[in-house]
Amino acid sequence: MIRCYKIYKEYVRNKPIINGLSLHLEPKSFTFLVGASGAGKSTLLSLFSLAQRPNQGNLRLFGHDVTRMPREQLPDLRRQIGTVFQDYQLLNHLTVAENVALPLKVIGESRKDIHAKVTELLEWIGLERFRDAKPPHLSGGQKQRVAIARAVINNPALILADEPTGNLDSALSMRLMHLFTSLNNIGTTVLFATHDEQLISHFDYPVLYLRDGQIFRQRRP
């Protein structure tokens, strides 16, 4: 699913955020990614979501070498990826329902199917009564739930989640974790970045630790 070999990413010359990182994530796996603030978790996820390219090294997604792939071919791969961003990246001029529906519109789903799927998912995350609200009128936790719903609504092959439960209470965090695990159970690969050690402790998934721009596998107690 994800294979990278000695990838580098830097924003300032000779100060790499990702420093010769190699990693292989199997299809249908669920993996936690942890690391200190500023360690590069968001940068790594942005590389995997095809929002950026590494400065050096080789990155393969879904069997394709995306490091050298022409930009016009990237959108087809991006449609297989659901991304939950730390800053939500919702469109403020669209309603909650319209934001969640975007991935389905891109792939050409019918209006009837879009309405049914959006309604079901908004009910599940407790935001059905906010379907016509716009993001500026939502709390941080509500925006986070909308962002998660948008990322998972089309059952992507790969979900990249950047602190997806960071603004939620423990009960809602666990409920949404079960949404991610349910998708994983039907074959979706999940890479889940978090600082929440308590949340991690409830699940027996591998933990990767990002430090000094490289990945270390963390042993369970």
Q: Which two tokens stand for residue 49?
A: 């979501």
Asked if 132 and 99 touch (Cβ cutoff 8 Å), the reply is: no
Please state, in angstroms and as integers, the Cα–Cα distance from residue 196 to each residue in 9, 124, 180, following that order: 26, 23, 16
> CA 109 to CA 129: how far, in whole Å?
23
Instruction: Check: pTM over 0.85? Answer yes or no.
Output: yes
> Tell me, what amino acid is at 130?
F
Can you give the pLDDT at residue 219? 55
> CA 21 to CA 154: how far, in whole Å?
30
pLDDT in tens, 129-172: 999 999 999 998 899 899 999 999 999 999 999 998 887 888 88
Contacts of 195 (CB under 8 A, 6+ apart): 34, 37, 163, 166
Can you give the pLDDT at residue 220? 53
> CA 14 to CA 12: how far, in whole Å?
6
Beta-strand ranges (E) seen in the chain are: 2-12, 15-25, 30-34, 56-61, 64-65, 81-84, 158-162, 189-193, 207-211, 214-218
Asked if 178 and 152 touch (Cβ cutoff 8 Å), the reply is: no
Q: What angle do CA 176, 40, 158 make, to 5 degrees?
A: 45
Strand, helix or coil for residue 31: strand
Ordered per-residue pLDDT tens for the chain, 221 residues: 899 999 999 999 989 999 999 999 999 999 999 999 889 999 999 999 999 999 999 999 999 999 989 999 999 999 999 999 888 999 999 999 999 999 999 889 999 999 999 999 999 889 999 999 999 999 988 998 999 999 999 999 999 999 988 878 888 888 889 889 999 999 999 999 998 888 999 999 999 999 999 999 865 54
Can you give the pLDDT at residue 167? 76
User: Three-state SS across 45-83?
Assistant: HHHHCCCCCCCEEEEEECCEECCCCCHHHHHHHHCCEEE
- The H or E element spanning position 147 is helix 140-152
What is the 8-class DSSP label of residue 137?
A: G
Can you give the pLDDT at residue 26? 95
Can you give the pLDDT at residue 175? 85
Contacts of 169 (CB under 8 A, 6+ apart): 141
Can you give the pLDDT at residue 176? 86
Phi and psi for 196 in degrees, rounded to 5? -85, 90
